[in-house]
Amino acid sequence: MSKHRNSTTHRKIAIATLAVAAVGIPSAAMAQSATAGSPAATSAAATDQQEVVDLVNSERSKAGCEPLTVNEKLTKAAQDHSEDMAAHSNMSHTGSDGSSPGDRIERAGYSWSTYGENVAYGYESPKSVMEGWMSSPGHKANILNCDFKEIGVGVAQPGHYWTQDFGAAR
C-alpha cells in the first residue's frame, strides 16, 4: 500500500493501492449539488464510474492488455467501500468494520483468484483521479495488470471517495 499527496492542488488529496494474488502479494464525482441517493446523484455517479472504466481501458490498451469488463459484484464492493469511507471520513483499505478488500469482494459474492484495489479521495473528476493513479507506480501497476479481467468502480460523497476493485474470477 502507498499513499501520497498531489502537491499541485490546494485540496487534500490522497490515494492508496493494494494488490493481492491467490498465493501472495505481488508488487504492486458526483455532482456537487446532488444529494447522495437522489436520482441526479445516482446518474452522476454512474457516469463517473463508466468514465473511470473507459479511462482504465484506454491505458490498458496502450500497454497491450485486454480491456476490463464491468462486474456488478466488484462494482457493489467498490461502491459500498467508497460509501463507507465517505461516511467515516477515512480513506483506507480497511473498512470501518475491519474488513479487507478481499473480505468485501467475497461478501459481494465475487469468487476471486486474484484481486487488487485502488482508493483515493479529494479528486473531483474521473480524469483527475485517473491522472493521480497513473502517476503512482503501485496504482498504475494495478490498472495495467493484464491478469485482471474485471473491474468495479465506486464513488461517494462527501469528499470524492473513489474505489477501483479489480479481479479475475476463479
Asked whether the predicted pLDDT for residue 1 surpasses 90, the reply is no
In this predicted model, what pLDDT tens digit does every residue of 61-116 receive, in sequence order?
Answer: 999 999 999 999 999 999 999 999 999 999 999 999 999 999 999 999 999 999 99
In this predicted model, what pLDDT tens digit does every residue of 18-45 receive, in sequence order?
Answer: 554 332 222 223 233 334 455 555 677 7
Task: Please give the pLDDT value at position 66.
Answer: 98
Asked whether the predicted pLDDT for residue 161 surpasses 70, the reply is yes
Asked whether the predicted pLDDT for residue 9 surpasses 80, the reply is no
HEC assignment per residue over the chain: CCCECCCCCCCCCEEEEEEEECCECCCCCCCCCCCCCCHHHHHHHHHHHHHHHHHHHHHHHHCCCCCCEECHHHHHHHHHHHHHHHHHCCCCCCCCCCCCHHHHHHHCCCCEEEEEEEEEECCCCHHHHHHHHHCCHHHHHHHCCCCCCEEEEEEECCCCEEEEEEEEEC
Task: Please give the pLDDT value at position 46.
Answer: 87
- Based on its alpha-carbon atoms, the radius of gyration of the chain, rounded to whole angstroms, reads 14
Task: Please give the pLDDT value at position 15.
Answer: 53
Task: Please give the pLDDT value at position 40.
Answer: 53
| Assigned fold of 66-169 | Pathogenesis-related Protein p14a (3.40.33)
Give residue limits of the domains in the chain. Answer: 66-169
Mean pLDDT, rounded, for 145-168: 97
Q: What percent of the chain has pLDDT over 90?
A: 72
